[in-house]
Amino acid sequence: MAKTTIPYHETGYFSTLICDYLAEKPKLKDFYGRFPTLENFKEQLKEKAPSFPAQSRATLVQQLQQQYKGFQVSEATENNIASLASEHTFTITTGHQLNLFTGPLYFLYKIVSVINLSEKLNAHYPNNHFVPVYWMATEDHDFDEINYFNLKGEKITWNRPDGGAVGELSTKGLEAVAKQTETLFGKSEHGEHLQQLFIDAYTKHPNLAAATRHLGNELFKEYGLVIVDGNDTQLKKQFIPYAEKELAENLSHQNITRTTARLTHLDYPEQVHPREINLFYLSEGVRERIIERDGNYYVNETELVFTKDEIFAQLQQHPERFSPNALLRPLYQEVILPNLCYVGGGGELAYWFQLQDYFKTVEVPFPMLLLRNSVLLVPEKLSEKLQKLEVAIKRLFQDTHSLKTEFTHQISAIEIDFSTQREHLQQQFKELYQLSKKTDASFVGAVAAQEKKQLNGLDHLEKRLLKAQKRKLSDQLGRLMTIQDHLFPSQSLQERTTNFSEFYQLYGDTLLQILKENLDPLEREFTVIQL
């Protein structure tokens, strides 16, 4: 096994915004707080500690213990939950949708990132304790984004009516999906373990939130991972003052709009567009935007209408019915957790950059933002094939056309480069230009036109030669393209498409150990692991 790293900006898969952030470009400094280094956590601790009262800690511990009832909790996770009552304990948090069977590989990378960062901080700041947290996006309603996972080119899909918060969706019907996975996972020891994991998660728990908690707990319990479900009445009670301001003053819209304008002025795109009210109304089968019009509050796509007094009464009596959207969820998270750092992907960090001014306005400490680890896993057989082809893995990050062209140049017995011919031609035309100066000026134009025509002709011939060589060398090119297609499905990063089960079938729990040992959350480079 070997590990190499590649600067993110050299992969071609990360936005200018994220690359500039990793480079700590000065123009971005106003959009985040402290950059995530071990040393900077010292000041983050000082800022967060006084803002998170003992009562909030007590509520958090109580609700986490309630959420974990009925689950087999490891000693490490149990101790981490209990430790949150202490003023010296803080969290490192990541969040993710409730994708079927974890969805793409980067689910694992997010969680390993928070586990490893927590361990680094525990070693560096022994007087404090740091807990890795996975925030389940149980209130999302985009079912079509989460109802499948990919395995060996097949899309395993859970078909059912959607509507409302996905965490509350019944797991009824997943028995049929389990029959499909049984064939794909196979009869090997690791395959049978995967099948049992799927059955235990999705056929023995009543809803998607519970199923996902079981899955995350089984995969990471030995590392003390704590899983939080924000769709919790007691936790939402702490968010009431911020929700009131949102309903009455549209504070997030005002602040986020101004911040977003500054970002777009620097040519960074808007990741999430703020609404005038960034709250949803949540009830059985329904999660719809709240819209204020003429002093009344309407729930979009329903017949529900509230006066101002009525909606404020609803908020006090039933805070669980109010659900923050993508832009308000970060605030809710930071209000109910003693959190120091949020670990997310490039798209997530992009919308966090829209939020700092809003956090200042509502006087909640803004967390440090860390780009999660990104990884390419290269099976041993593919590494061997690449070695035989004399192709470095870094070259596979190119688009297909560029890779084909470069590889054709590499293996062609004929040099596909007419530079010498161009130089010879240009030298001949230099002599013609000297001659043209002695005659009519119109002759100079004729010489220039002829030079351009002949140089273009050489360019055309060079392209024709390249095309011919690609045909001649199609077998070798095909082998390389097959490898690239496997590692970069649909010209996308492996981590955004492939499910962990594809590798777990081969390596079992060793896969998690490999990730744990090789991923450094503070390393600002893309990781390639040759298995």
What is the pLDDT at residue 449?
Answer: 84
Q: In this predicted model, what pLDDT tens digit does every residue of 27-54 receive, in sequence order?
A: 999 999 999 999 999 999 999 999 999 9
Q: In this predicted model, what pLDDT tens digit does every residue of 296-327 receive, in sequence order?
A: 999 999 999 999 999 999 999 999 999 999 99
- Answer yes or no: is pLDDT of 468 > 90: no
- Answer yes or no: is pLDDT of 442 > 80: no
Specify whether the CB–CB gap between 169 and 208 falls below 8 A.
yes
Mean pLDDT computed over every residue of the chain: 95
Specify whether the CB–CB gap between 484 and 477 falls below 8 A.
no
What is the pLDDT at residue 20?
Answer: 98
Specify whether the CB–CB gap between 1 and 378 falls below 8 A.
no
- Answer yes or no: is pLDDT of 361 > 80: yes
> Which of 239, 260, 269, 422 lies closest to 331 in space, CA to CA?
239
What is the pLDDT at residue 470?
Answer: 92
Three-state SS annotation for 362-389: HCCCCCEEEECCCEEEECHHHHHHHHHH
Q: In this predicted model, what pLDDT tens digit does every residue of 397-421 receive, in sequence order?
A: 999 999 999 999 999 999 988 888 8
- Answer yes or no: is pLDDT of 484 > 90: yes
Q: In this predicted model, what pLDDT tens digit does every residue of 511-527 receive, in sequence order?
A: 999 999 999 999 999 99
Q: In this predicted model, what pLDDT tens digit does every residue of 76-99 receive, in sequence order?
A: 999 999 999 999 999 999 999 999
- Rg of the chain, C-alpha, whole Å: 28
The length of the chain in residues reads 531
Stated pTM of the model: 0.93
